[in-house]
Amino acid sequence: MKALAAFWMRLLAFTLLALIAATVLFEKQSPPKTGVGGDGLPSAGTLGPVYASQTQVKLVDLIPASLSGEANQDSEPFLAIQTANPQVMVASAFTPNPVSSTGNAPVYVSQDGGNSWVLNAITPVPRMTCDITHAMPTGENHPRGDLHAGTLACAASITLDESESNDVSSSAVMNVQSTRSNVDQPFVRALGISNADHIYVGINDFNQPNGRTATVDVSVDGGATYKSFSIEARNTAGQDGPSVRPAVAADNTVYAAFFGWRKFNGKTATSDVVVVRDDAGGTGPNPFQALRDPSDKLPGRLVVKRVSIPWSNAPTLGQERIGSTLSIAVDPNNSSTVYVGWADRGRKGDIYTLHVRRSTDRGLTWSKADLPHTTISNATNIALAVANNGAVGLLYQQLSGGRWVTHIVQSHDAFATVQDVILANVPANAPVQQFLPYLGDYDYLLSVGNEFRGVFCANNSPDLADFPQGVTYQRAADFNTKTLTDGSGNPVPISIDPFYFSVPVIP
Amino acid sequence: MNFSSSFFAGILWTALLAPAVAGLPQGQNSQAAVSQLGAVSFAGVPQSTQTIVVRVDSVLKKPPAVSLKKGDNVTVELKDPSAFQQGTQATFYTEGWIFGSGVAVKELGHEFNAGGASAAGAGTGETALGYTQEQISDQELRDRLNSADFVVIGRVTDVHRWTVPKSATPRRVSEHDPDWHEAVVQVQSVLKGAQVKGNKVVVRFPGRNDVAWVHSPKFEKNQQGI
């Protein structure tokens, strides 16, 4: 009897052990939350001489549930975070008005820190913008504003509108404060100062004389008035490159980076990467002349000289075009430290190679070589940001093994050691492009509090293997069958969607 | 926001409002009843005395991208909320406003359903809607003909890149460069405008597949049309 009892006890114990083991195994293999919510999953991917870290990543597909039937190429994302209340954010992409070719182009609005997003058709542009960037400095203290946007309208004459919304959830269309044509790629940064918003819009302005087209539009009165300043002091190949990127520090230091095109043959631009600086928020009569290059004593420090930048307005890097990716970021609490990143031809065999350099003396001198781990081949859409604790963030998208891989990299020591988290790893050959840019001519990264927040675009196939940190879809999606539906069970083709993410800043 | 965005119909008298929607190329058309006043149907929509929630009884027409079905609650921002009570059934003509976990629209006009909606009425509404859509389509064509200086029926016989004359404005390099092309059209008949010398016209169009030009027509050899 004793032996029989012992046998049953052992069997019971073994069964319990097996059950526990099975439960643990099941939990490890289960998809994150319902298959559509990966919010807060651990497991950061890591590369190179890095320190592995358990990272809490929030990743959300911005397409709302009520637009589950859409299959647009919602590429080229951007993000604004309201300074006074970071729960309020605005994102954008090449998303058309959902119901009309004459209705206003929309923006995405979140009021809960990025957990949920709605689409609100408030831009001044009909149907869909063909460039849009924005910022929410809130110097004017509106609870769900102040959104300042630079938009291009897609029409026979491409027109820039610089506009404002005091409430991004209202139905009021943004108020156009300034407009002009013959410009390219507006890029908005802003700083709220007392009760006025200081707005800086980098523009490639073809109206500037002598082909010195790199321009910053400056407003120190919330957009009521703008002044345009060419920041190119040298002769060009008839114009500068499209990307003109401002960066603003809390102490009113404003940097701007641009591609000073010296030669252009239709396929390659021979370009300087130029950084200018102003120490008074661009308010003086001749701003952005604080930095001069030792070689010619002209305003604008040449970070690198005469690099070759391939220009291809056709699918070249996978299905993406290339020619002008550039980013600059300043430490918000130490305006002496500034990073600049760009892409050029790189080494033989590379299509497009990213580089990052740093200055710690207000742009006077720059690292002579790329910072460690920042020479990245076959990649684009570089975006830099610096957190309050000095950690630098680097967002980029790399074509690797037939897939677009989106990285967010952080470092405390100028990339000597890094934390590299893969946000998305999706097929690069699907969907087929509807137009260019396929993913966007840029993506975006910001820091707020102890988070880096950003946006990128990617293939929206609901496949958890594509999103190593997990993902939340608002639109109807079945992660078991890896299919999208229109909310009524009908299949919807995969397309390019904008994704919002946040990651904790490394301590 | 342009008037011609969408319309959301609560009952069956769409045809009676045909003149009011004659410029609406696409939209939503459903049957619905007012279920809440001064309310919204999902987070992210600002609540006010002008917002009401209506329940959709049936969907007659909507853009394919928009998820909307029977039983869904929709927020409508009214022009005059005093005209509505809980349980009111009406036809709403609206434009899109906010799209989130649900749909919010702005009223352009409405028509009350005194007798209440019915299944039979839905069929009548569909018939009326079809008639309205025909009217809209005809009106769109009339508008396009009126706005054009020159209208022909013809066939594309050649497409080639346009060589920019040296006297033109200096070429600017931009991602949005249109890369102008020309389509040579053999004219079969002229519907509007003067007769054409040699019966050929050249139509210049952007050849680039950039976002700025994706909705512009791209002509190909042997295409025929108006």
CB within 8 Å: B175 and A65: no
What is the maximum span of chain B, computed from C-alpha positions, in angstroms?
Answer: 70
Distances (CA, A) of B207 to A331, A392, B42: 43, 41, 43
Q: How confident is the model at residue B109 (pLDDT cuts 50, 70, 90)?
A: confident
CB within 8 Å: A171 and B97: yes
Distances (CA, A) of A387 to A71, A337, A452: 35, 12, 7
Closest CB to B6 among A99, A127, A185 = A99
Q: How many CA atoms lie within 13 A of A99 on its CB side?
A: 32
A421-432, pLDDT tens digit by residue? 999 999 999 999
Q: What is the pLDDT of residue A140?
A: 76
Q: Where are the domains of chain A?
A: 37-504
Closest CB to B211 among A69, A130, A211 = A130
Residue A259 is classified by DSSP as E
**Closest alpha carbon within chain B to A95:** B211
Q: Is B46 on the interface with A (CB under 8 A)?
A: yes
**pLDDT > 70? residue B7:** no
Q: What is the pLDDT of residue A127?
A: 92
d(CA A65, CA A117): 10
Position with higher pLDDT, B113 vs B64? B64
Above pLDDT 90, what percent of chain A? 82
Alpha-carbon A71 to chain mean position: 22
For residue B82, report the phi and psi dihedrals to the nearest 5 degrees. -65, -15
Helix/strand/coil percent split, chain A, to 5: 10, 45, 45
Q: How confident is the model at residue B95 (pLDDT cuts 50, 70, 90)?
A: confident
Q: Which residues, other chains included, contact A481 with Cβ-Cβ below 8 Å and sequence gap of 6+?
A: none
CB within 8 Å: A102 and B176: no
Residues in chain A: 507
Q: Is B69 on the interface with A (CB under 8 A)?
A: yes
Collapsed DSSP state (helix, strand, coil) of residue A388: coil
Position with higher pLDDT, B179 vs B17? B179
Closest CB to A264 among B173, B210, B212 = B173
Collapsed DSSP state (helix, strand, coil) of residue B75: strand
For residue B135, report the phi and psi dihedrals to the nearest 5 degrees. -60, -45
CB within 8 Å: A103 and B2: yes
**Three-state helix/strand/coil letters over A39-105:** CCECCCCCCCCECCCCCCEEEEECCCHHHCCCCCCCCCCEEEECCCCCCCEEEECCCCCCCCCCCEC
B-interface mutation test, from A62, A100, A166, A268, most B Cβ less than 10 A away: A100
Of A13-22, A147-156, B134-143, the range with the lowest mean pLDDT is A13-22
Q: Is B140 on the interface with A (CB under 8 A)?
A: no
**Closest alpha carbon within chain A to B8:** A99
Tokens linked to B74: 């929709």
- The CATH number for B14-146, chosen from 3.40.30, 2.40.50, 3.40.50, 2.60.40, is 2.40.50
Q: Is B65 on the interface with A (CB under 8 A)?
A: yes
Q: Is B120 on the interface with A (CB under 8 A)?
A: no
Place of tokens 């308010």: A283
B31-45, pLDDT tens digit by residue? 567 888 999 999 989
Which helix (H) or strand (E) element contains residue A178?
strand A175-181
Position with higher pLDDT, A273 vs B22? A273
A352-402, pLDDT tens digit by residue? 999 999 999 999 999 999 999 999 999 999 999 999 999 999 999 999 999
**With contacts defined as CB-CB under 8 Å, which chain A residues touch B173?**
238-239, 242, 264, 311
Q: Are A206 and A183 in contact (CB under 8 A)?
A: yes
CB within 8 Å: B43 and A474: no
Neighbours of A496 (CB within 10 A): 28
Position with higher pLDDT, A3 vs A103? A103
Residue A126 is classified by DSSP as B
Q: What is the pLDDT of residue A348?
A: 83
For chain B, where do the domains classified as CATH 2.40.50 start and end? 14-146
B145-173, pLDDT tens digit by residue? 888 989 999 999 999 999 888 777 777 89
Mean pLDDT, residues A155-173: 90
Which helix (H) or strand (E) element contains residue A8?
helix A2-29
Q: Is B168 on the interface with A (CB under 8 A)?
A: no
Neighbours of B82 (CB within 10 A): 7
**pLDDT > 50? residue A32:** no
Question: Is this prediction's ipTM beyond 0.90?
Answer: no
Q: What is the mean pLDDT of chain B?
A: 78
**With contacts defined as CB-CB under 8 Å, which chain A residues touch B56?**
none
Q: Are B4 and A102 in contact (CB under 8 A)?
A: yes
Q: How many CA atoms lie within 13 A of A59 on its CB side?
A: 30
A-interface mutation test, from B24, B204, B211, B215, most A Cβ less than 10 A away: B211
**With contacts defined as CB-CB under 8 Å, which chain B residues touch A72?**
65
Closest CB to A435 among B170, B179, B209 = B209
Q: Is B172 on the interface with A (CB under 8 A)?
A: yes
Q: What is the pLDDT of residue A12?
A: 41
Q: Are B72 and B46 in contact (CB under 8 A)?
A: no
Q: Which residues, other chains included, contact B180 with Cβ-Cβ below 8 Å and sequence gap of 6+?
A: B161, B162, B164, B204, B205, B206, B207
Mean pLDDT, residues A311-340: 97
What value, to the nearest 5°, has the Cα angle with vertex B34 and ends B33 and B37? 175
Is A37-504 assigned to CATH 2.120.10.10?
yes
